[in-house]
Amino acid sequence: MYPTFKAALMAAALGLFAGQAAAKPEPFVYQKPGRGAVSESKMRGVYDLIPNPSHSAAKARLAILTGMQKTKGTAWLLEDEGEGYVLARWDYKGHAIFHRIEYDADGVQIKYAGGLNDYACEMQAGDYCYLTHRNYYKYNQSLVKQLKIALGVRG
């Protein structure tokens, strides 16, 4: 990691959630904020609410931490956490994605929390990135798959 990238990571991590409300997974509503936004199916593949069959927030947290480590290729790193959320970071060749993975007794949901270089969001609405690097949605499929496996969700 180069010093400038390290500095950028720290600045992004420190400034991500200033003034954000308490974590609460919620059903994803596709808004298509403008021309060029990715398809609804790609968005749902990352941001749809994942049910928590255990109905335990503690088990959901453990499932998130487990799923982050079992993704295909580069694992997600725990950057920070708070009441009802885990801040995850994924680094690849000088580029990074930050997700706020929110959880409670009923579900788990990924929310876009920032990106560096190729993964900076070009079109964002609320907590969701509608346009960024074409591989962003592909790389997140592995995380979603591992979260579902760790939670015991079929399909």
Q: Can you give the pLDDT at residue 7? A: 46
Instruction: Assess if residue 81 is contained within a domain.
Output: yes
Domain count, the chain: 1
Assigned domain for 74 exists? yes
> Within a domain: residue 34?
no
Supply the pTM of this predicted model. 0.87
C-beta separation of 83 from 23 below 8 A: yes
Q: Which pLDDT score, from 0 to 100, does residue 43 have?
A: 96
- Amino acid, res. 132: T
In a domain, 14, yes or no: no
- Beta-bridge partners for 51: 107
Element (H, E) at 127: none
Position 1 scores a pLDDT of 47
Task: Assess if residue 15 is contained within a domain.
Answer: no
| 69 lies in some domain | yes
In a domain, 136, yes or no: yes
pLDDT-based confidence at 138, cuts 50/70/90? Answer: confident
* Strand order, beta sheet including 50-51: 50-51, 107-116, 95-103, 85-92, 77-82
Average the pLDDT over 128-135 and give the result: 95
Q: pLDDT digit string (tens) for 93-130?
A: 999 999 999 999 999 999 999 999 999 999 999 999 99
Dump pLDDT digits (tens) for 24-40: 999 999 998 889 999 99
Domain housing 116:
40-151
In a domain, 31, yes or no: no
CA-wise closest residue to 14 among 101, 122, 89, 65: 89
Alpha helices in 16-151 (DSSP H): 40-47, 57-69, 136-151
